[in-house]
Chains A and B, each alone.
Chain A
Amino acid sequence: MSTPASFVWLSNGTSLPWAEVPEWPVDSFVEATSAELDRGVRLCAWFGVPDGDATRLVAVLAYDADNTLAVGRSAPARGSYPSLTARHAQAHLFEREVWEQHGLKPEGHPWLKPVRRANGGAPANGKFFQVEGREVHEVAVGPVHAGIIEPGHFRFQCAGEEVLHLEIALGYQHRGVEAALPGGPHRVTLSQMETVAGDTTIGHATAYAAVLEALAGSEAPLRAQWLRALALELERLANHPGDLGALAGDVAFLPTAAACGKIRGDFLNLTALLCGNRFGRGLVKPGGCRHDLDTVRAGQMQQQLRAALDEVEQAAAWLWDAAAVRSRFEGTGVVGNATAADIGLVGPAARASGLVRDVRYDHPAGWHRFAQVPVAVWPDGDAFARARVRWLEIQRSGKFLEEQLAAPPDGPLCAEPGALAGDTLAVALVEGWRGEVCHVALTDAAGRFRRYKLVDPSFHNWTGLALALRGQAISDFPLCNKSFNLSYCGFDL
């Protein structure tokens, strides 16, 4: 087999025939991917495609500065292959996942264990990393936590108050999302996409719709793209103030905590004004949108949006004014710039570590080709930076919405996508409020899904939380956890 020269370029929200994806023998494929990552390229997805009794590996890479993506694949492989993680930490969970899903073992992976596999009513957590020593103790938390929150298990290795190491074991929320997709799209697929991570309904539904439209070679009408962009910012606006409130609550600063709990609801109600559901269920569908924003409704939205933005500005001002809050946020849970890049952080967590990384800006698709939101970055990588980036994004999303609501495009709401192309690969990225949502679909000869890969931003970012805790007091865990506010079900699928 001849070795291809390079990966093939692919823009966000487009497709290409599977036959045109360059193929390497598996060892050289790992080498080729590693060489690209050495140049600062980012790994969006790394997954297996079953091929007879063997598995092909597929890599989706992001060249953020060049505003393009690229894909490549390996020849069918069996048994094992040389691990990419050994050289690039950002691959570590992807390789564990491939091993779990396809039995293909990454040789040299430093911490190979299951991701979501069941073991008698609970996930197979395997053995936890342990620090030994007379003064060292272990703290286990979860899966059921103290608040109204999803389940996960945290295992701390501590010397006194100081956390030496945190291992995060998830998988409790595993609902078999990916396993149900081959042979699809099914009748229920869109509803499942909306609930992959229910607080990111618009993010995931938009990525799914974009993938289907790319496979059908069609495009949603501009008005639908505009509505999706509005809904995406409304989703961000519901969650970011909620996070600011929760962060305030974790340092016992009640004015902002109390106000933001309500304001979050005000933003959710704006999404409900658009589609009836506070989380955006039923708004996005392949081909377009199901609900329109008439002039009266748009006027109502502008008014309520302004009121909510004013309130959140006030609540945020209290927060930043309080020296007690700043001193608790600053220097807590630091993830440095280099570490953030190494582990492949995305979204506000990446931007709070100084990485200029935002799908809306780097890989504009849909309405973001015409209107962009400036990228909000803060350099320090601590809880303060993660709170600050959220505040910057609240302001910018608000401004974006006000500008867009004032200038709606005309036209139809939906254009039914036709049949899906066979033997074709499509990729769509969307900047959800937690970061990059990545959907990759590969069809069979008949145009049904042969493989569908979902990557929620939390899949990249949980490692960031684990590293943020190193050297930190264990009592800072709630604050650090909230400063990331990652999805359990989005990770567990």
Chain B
Amino acid sequence: MFVQDTLLHRLRQGCQPMAYPAAPPPPLPDRHGGALRVESAKCAEGCSACVPVCPTQAITRPEREPVALDLGRCIFCAACVETCPTKAIKQTGDHRMAARRREDLMLGKTGEEELRVAAALDEKLRRLLGRSLRLRQVSAGGCNACEADTNVLGTIGWDLGRFGIQFVASPRHADGLLITGCVSRNMELALRKTYDAVPPPKIVIAVGACAIAGGPFVGHPQILNGASSVVPVDLFIPGCPPHPLTILDGLLRVLGRLETPDSLPAHDKVTEHP
């Protein structure tokens, strides 16, 4: 009976992976807000109301300079959005946030109101990794939220395996690292050794505000303020934690798997980084 029941249940479950990226992605929760857009041109003269409300000091406004928001440091609490009297900082609802360079996450200047979304790896790396990417995950001072929302990509709904992306048990079997956490000093050695154990060519992906810049713990003497302090990073995925969709978007984007215009959702303002 049991075997029969199990088989029946499984049949009834059917095939569950979501249609994305062939179809539009599932919407972000309406209160999520997505990526931020910062138009310093809209800032009131001498106003810096957003600066002190940011818990991670992601916003700065040096004298006679436009306001600057570092989306890599941002934990998406939206305190600045609520505070800004001129609506210079807005939520776009866009899940696409992965960037190849750290400076592509700096928002504010005219022409740089939004982040510059990641371009794919160069042709040679894409040929090597584009259809089969094996990653070793290292949590280094993570809080288990980025880890959980990376893990969820392996479940039946997201089904990361269908893209040829897989998390492997040994760095020797990996093409790169996916790092979460602010990189505690106590994980420095282990992270370095894991990186060294990955055979080249290799890529490094930093997931979450902690791995990009230290997150809520930035500046603590017990941490190293993110993965870049120990290893070179090729892809930054902001969030606290990033929504699974944002992580998946980053992985597919860097592999050049989202390049056909048809597969892109109908967002208009995001500029592609050359």
User: Residues on A close to B: CB < 8 A?
Assistant: 116, 118, 120-123, 143-144, 146-151, 171-177, 179-180, 187-188, 190-192, 194-199, 201, 255, 258-259, 261-262, 264-265, 268-269, 272-279, 281-282, 291, 314, 318, 321-323, 487-489, 492
Q: Which residues of B pack against A, CB within 8 Å?
A: 2, 5-6, 9-10, 13, 16, 29-33, 52-56, 75-78, 136-152, 154-157, 167, 169-171, 181-182, 184-190, 192, 194, 210, 215-217, 220-223, 240-241, 243-244
Closest to B150 in A: A148
Contact A122 B147 (CB under 8 A): no
Structural contact, B2 and A195, CB atoms closer than 8 A: no
Contact indicator B145/A318 (Cβ below 8 Å): no
Please measure, in the bound complex, the distance between the C-alpha atom of A409 and the C-alpha atom of B106, giving whole angstroms.
Answer: 43
With A148-B151, A173-B184, A174-B186 given, can you name 4 additional A-B contacts, CB distance below 8 Å? Answer: A146-B170, A275-B31, A276-B29, A281-B76
**Given the complex of chains A and B, what is the CA–CA distance between A281 and B2 in angstroms?**
42
B217 touches A187 (CB 8 A): no
Chain A residues positioned under 8 Å from B143 (CB to CB): 195-199, 489
Residue of B nearest to A275 (CB): B31
Residues of B within 8 A of A147 (CB): 137, 151, 167, 169
- B222 contacts A175, C-beta separation under 8 Å: yes
Contact for A175 among B5, B30, B169, B182, CB less than 8 A: B182
Q: Which of A147, A150, A201 has the most CB of B within 10 A?
A: A150
Note all chain A residues with C-beta closer than 8 A to B220: 175-176, 179-180
- Write the chain B residue with the least CB distance to A314: B9
Q: Which residues of the other chain, B, contact A174 by a CB distance below 8 angstroms?
A: 141, 184-186, 222
Q: Across the two chains, which residue of chain A brings its CB closest to B152?
A: A265
- Write the chain B residue with the least CB distance to A119: B186
Chain A residues in 8 Å Cβ range of B149: 278
Q: Nearest-CB distance from A363 to chain B (Å)?
A: 26
13 residue pairs of the A-B complex, CB under 8 angstroms, read A121-B187, A143-B187, A144-B171, A147-B167, A147-B169, A148-B154, A172-B190, A175-B222, A195-B143, A198-B142, A264-B155, A276-B32, A318-B5
Closest A residue, CB atoms, query B220: A176
The docked-state distance in angstroms from the alpha carbon of A188 to that of B187 is 23
Q: In the complex, what distance in Å separates the CA atom of A201 from the CA atom of B194?
A: 29
CA distance A273 to B155 in the complex (A): 21
**Contact of A265 with B155 in the complex, beta carbons under 8 Å:** yes
Is the Cβ of B222 less than 8 Å from the Cβ of A176?
Answer: yes
Q: How far is the CB of A419 from chain B (nearest CB, A)?
A: 19
Tell me if B142 and A121 are in contact (CB < 8 A).
no
Q: Are A272 and B31 in contact (CB under 8 A)?
A: yes
